Amino acid sequence: MPNVTVVGAQWGDEGKGKIVDWLSEKADIIVRFQGGHNAGHTLVVKGVTYKLKLLPSGIVRKNKISIIGNGVVIDPWALLEEIKQIEKLGIKITKKNLYIAENANLILPLHRELDGIREDIKNTDKIGTTRRGIGPAYEDKIGRRGVRLMDLANKKNLSKKIDMILFHHNSIRKGLKKKLINKKKLINDLNKISSKILIYSKPVWKKINEFKKKKKIIVFEGAQGMLLDIDHGTYPYVTSSNTVAGAASAGAGCGPDTINYILSIVKAYTTRVGEGPFPTELKNKIGNQIGLKGKEFGTVTNRKRRCGWFDAVLVKQSCTISGTKGIALTKIDVLDELKYIYVCVAYKLNGKKIDFFPSSLQDQTKVEPVYKKFNGWLKNTSGIKKWQDLPKNTQKYIKFIKSYCGVKISSISTSPRREDTILLENPFKKN
């Protein structure tokens, strides 16, 4: 049975958590491979709601191993608090069901502070970050001055690492006339929590290779969406990591041949959080209606999401870049009460029609959507579990998405509940 890599095909918040949790029933290992605790996944299982940020969605299932890969940046304090909260809901987390890559980079308090300082500086464009230090932590990783999980095990080496990172950060803070970081306090804070986090530390690349040899089934779980990818998204209004499917290989420490089936999660309409271009955004009653019905508020920040019509151009582009084999379509029930539904099928840019989303920010903000109109179904689809039970107009809408994007619809989610899923193609089945 092939492994499955799950990524978002829009600006995140597509419902990856539920789909990964659903897939986890068949899988043995669930690996989170990029991002940080800026991306939340909400699961509803037997009436209990779990809000995960760093922990892979498979953690709520028994007899599964959840892995946080080296591509993730980890705030150790946030992770320990998340573990504490999830354990209160009856989920036992130990070194037997949670592995963390020893070479994963850490988010320190100085990263969170710098994130906030930058967002608050006047006369600069706001990116709309979650202020959790994700970007600054990735900067230090690429700048080769980051502190990694394994560094907590060696106090002498940790001291040298802190010297390197403070040379950089205190220089910035001095220039911005901010209070300098106290090395002694930072090291003491890290030493207090090091033993609690190091128990999960493992050479994850080696473990994944062992699982592969044993023919264990692996689900690779992405965070955010392709349109927030540092290279392929709406730059600079993006996250600080690669969110495309190919990042699973580097972020988990395994060869591309391990990735296999790529499943893109796609919401039946479009949302985004924070600043940046959004061609199909609806700043009207319909946009508000979709937001309220879809409960479009961030799991991590509780920020209200911007809502708009389905952008088929963007989804097709995302699926092409990630090499998508199947689409898991979510939140179709949110559109139940709309008389007419529109899908963006092209753009107009400077008077010309184009069939792709340009890379230039200037062009991205200028494109005008070209829409195809659909009749709504005005019937309840929530909880439907069979394709034939969907209203005819719902089926037409879904078939068009499949045809336009050139990708099979493998499943349709009709509510946040785990069981309310229509399976059309099994991602684990060999083709």
The catalytic residue positions are 13, 41
Q: Nearest 5°: CA angle at 273, between 20 and 351?
A: 110
CA 342 to centroid of chain Cα atoms: 26
Q: Map residue 73 onto helix, strand or coil.
A: strand
**Cα radius of gyration (the chain):** 22
Q: Map residue 356 onto helix, strand or coil.
A: coil
CA atoms within a 13 Å half-sphere pointing along the CA-CB vector of 59: 33
CB 424 within 8 A of CB 412: yes
Tell me how far apart the alpha carbons of residues 370 and 130 are, in angstroms, rounded to a whole number.
32
CB 177 within 8 A of CB 202: no
Q: Map residue 237 onto helix, strand or coil.
A: coil
Give me the DSSP letters along 174-193.
HHTT-PPP-HHHHHHHHHHH
Query: Which residue, 139, 138, 149, is CA-closest to 34?
Result: 138
Q: Nearest 5°: CA angle at 16, between 15 and 18?
A: 75
CB 270 within 8 A of CB 334: no
Q: Map residue 75 onto helix, strand or coil.
A: coil
DSSP 369: E
Tell me how far apart the alpha carbons of residues 67 and 99 are, in angstroms, rounded to a whole number.
5
What phi and psi, each to the nearest 5 degrees, are found at residue 243?
-105, 0
